[in-house]
Amino acid sequence: MQTQQESRITIQGIELALACPDVLSYHWVGQQDVLEQLLAAWLVIDPKDIPLSPRLIGKPGVGKTTLAYAAAKAIGRDVYIFQCTMDTRPEDLLITPVIDKAGGIRYVASSLVTAMIQGQVCILDEGNRMGEKSWASLAPLLDARRYVESIVAGLKIAAHPNFRICVTTNEDASTFEIPEYIHSRLQPQIYIDFPEPEEEKRILSENLPFVDEAIIDYVVAFLHRAHISDERYTVRDGINIARYAAKRIKSVKDKPDMTGFLRQAIAMTLGDEALVYAL
């Protein structure tokens, strides 16, 4: 098993252990305009200019994190993803003290602070699941000051000029309202909608190259009918449906009932009510 060696850096006499970047097989397919919008927000056009901190908005599963990851790779940066939750504390976002093997205190930089120090990209995923106290700790980072202050470690850390950040937010009920003073800092707002059927097929095919095209076509048609009726089913749902149906078909020795297994996969993924959009 391969392991990554922990990196460390000393700032103002305090040694910090740094996080490792996320290495994923994400590829952005279609909707080139939103990719260009995100890259433009990160652009710096003058020595007095600073990058913006865009907010990616859309239903769960439409590809917000994939878009941000692809944009970071397009500018040649490593990516650090911080998954926000209702329990996220300011120290989780910044620097966390832990007990080392000798019984002393060591400080661990979050993925966000690591990206700041190294001039890479941080994705704050599902940011509107965090409460106001955590957002308050990021206020100076998201404006012209471009720094964070860790009370725990007694450090003020400035962002590297190459540092970029974006925040993804979901449109669902299990989220908080982002404070207005933070909302005004998370600009521009980039909206991501469901892709067109041709783009959905490309996404499914790229994620599931081992799945029969007939299964892909069935799932794309199902998603298209659901979108017409304004259902919230996403490409992520489609990938799960196609993947499970393919496994069920593969597990049967005799001639499989492809349509029957696809309908079963839809019901088991989204519930029986989704079958109204199935063939």
* In the predicted structure, residue 175 carries a pLDDT above the cut 80: no
Asked, for residue 1, whether it belongs to a domain, the answer is: no
| Per-residue model confidence (pLDDT) at position 103 | 79
Asked, for residue 2, whether it belongs to a domain, the answer is: no
pLDDT digits (tens, 9 = 90+) for 44-80: 999 999 999 999 998 888 889 999 999 999 999 999 9
Q: Which amino acid is at 155?
A: L
Residues 121 and 80: beta-carbon distance below 8 Å? yes
| Per-residue model confidence (pLDDT) at position 3 | 47
Number of domains in the chain: 2
Identify whether residues 207 and 262 lie together within a single domain.
Answer: yes
Q: Which of 83-92, 192-201, 239-248, 263-272 has the lowest mean pLDDT?
A: 192-201
> What's the pTM value of the predicted model, to 2 decimals?
0.85
Select from 138, 160, 191 the last residue of a domain: 191
Identify whether residues 158 and 209 lie together within a single domain.
Answer: no
The domain in which residue 249 lies consists of 197-277
Give the number of other CB atoms < 10 A from CB of residue 16: 23
Name residue, tokens 């911080």: 82
C-alpha to C-alpha distance for 206 and 26, rounded to whole angstroms:
10
pLDDT digits (tens, 9 = 90+) for 4-58: 567 999 998 889 999 999 998 877 887 889 999 999 999 999 999 999 999 999 8
Identify whether residues 184 and 204 lie together within a single domain.
Answer: no
* In the predicted structure, residue 1 carries a pLDDT above the cut 50: no
Identify whether residues 69 and 159 lie together within a single domain.
Answer: yes
Look at residues 77, 40, 84 and name the one whose alpha carbon lies nearest to residue 182: 84
Identify whether residues 202 and 187 lie together within a single domain.
Answer: no
Pairing of strands 95-99, 105-109: antiparallel
Select from 138, 157, 191 the last residue of a domain: 191
pLDDT digits (tens, 9 = 90+) for 208-257: 999 999 999 999 999 999 999 988 898 889 999 999 999 999 998 888 89
Asked, for residue 173, whether it belongs to a domain, the answer is: yes
| Per-residue model confidence (pLDDT) at position 4 | 55
Identify whether residues 129 and 83 lie together within a single domain.
Answer: yes
